[in-house]
Structure 1
Amino acid sequence: MIEIEKPRIECVEISEKQDYAKYVIEPLERGYGITLGNSLRRVILSSLPGAAITSVKIEGVLHEFSTIPGVVEDVTEIILNLKALALRVYTDEPQIICLEAVEPGEVLAGDIIHSSEVEILNPELHIATLDTGGRLIMEMTVEKGRGYRTAEKNKSEEHIIGVIPIDSIFSPVRKVNYTVTDTRVGQITDYDKLTLEVWTNGTLHPDEAVSLSAKILNDHLLLFVGLTEEI
């Protein structure tokens, strides 16, 4: 087997909240920067497990195009805000979380009532605003999953009237960027340098996101390794 230059990976930047990190991988054989960068990006965005709200039931509301007396936001806006909720769930079973807001003012994610099996990582998230006399009573179902699931797929025959299935973004990763530039080894400049940036919602450390995606990719590549032992 022809030997290739062994690359090294280094985390060159990480945010204070540890929800962003930048990695540099070099030197890579020509072409491997794009191959690895594109493959990792796709797996990170599509295949990492997470938790999200799959349906919501709001007192006095039958569909998502309704308005709620005494609540500034309409139901569509409230659902959009709920999609930004960063959740950790410590069980594989669906969980019910509730919100009972009756006082005027801002309603935050930290006001949500939940069991010890659920953790909310962004309690400062804005959910809605109540005027005097307004009330917002909600029951939400939280599930684990991967990638993205449409509201249509979140529909269930068990749902009663008033339960609104919503689109669910399970991925704990918000964004992934990569760039490939030239680098050198000694006098040879024909190598790639891969720079990978990962933004998460705080429920998963960027290191974990990159490592887990690499393991998923490796598991799939092992299928091809088994074709022959003569390498």
Structure 2
Amino acid sequence: GRLLIDASYCPVINVAVHVETLENGKESLILNIETNGTISPEEAISTASTIFADQLGSFIDIRNSVAPAEDQVLRPLIDPKLISPVEDLELTVRSANCLKAEGIKFIGDLVQKTEVELLKTPNLGKKSLAEIKDVLAERGLSLGMRLENWPPADIDLSR
């Protein structure tokens, strides 16, 4: 497209851009720069590149100021509720013992189980299942959730 203005003092009249694929699979950028003669096309691209680099500098400064320290490990954020022990759910003794016997220590372990899987647990019936579902729902959780990166590397599994 074109933008019509009443007067142009810009030394660059037109820029055409073309990308060619080379034999080695790489691409080559071809710029055809037409100027009014007050500056050369090389000088125009050099000036434009300098301005562009200066504009991007603010983003580089932001990235460096927000970058974590090298010793800080980047890991996905995990809802603290999921790292809590199952005891925090304050289930009945029967339900809590069934989960403990199955090796379900954390709420994150529990929410990944399906109803069918839990019903296969010895001594855990429909009443206990309903209790578990209700308690999880109160916390905005449900059975059958799929959690990526579970368990977290820094979780104490010996609890």
TM-score over 0.5 (shorter chain)? no
Q: Which structure would you say has the larger Rg?
A: 2
Q: Which has the higher helix share?
A: 2
TM-score by length of 2: 0.36
Q: Which has the higher contact order (CA 8 A, sep 6+)?
A: 1
TM-score by length of 1: 0.25
Q: Which has the higher strand share?
A: 1
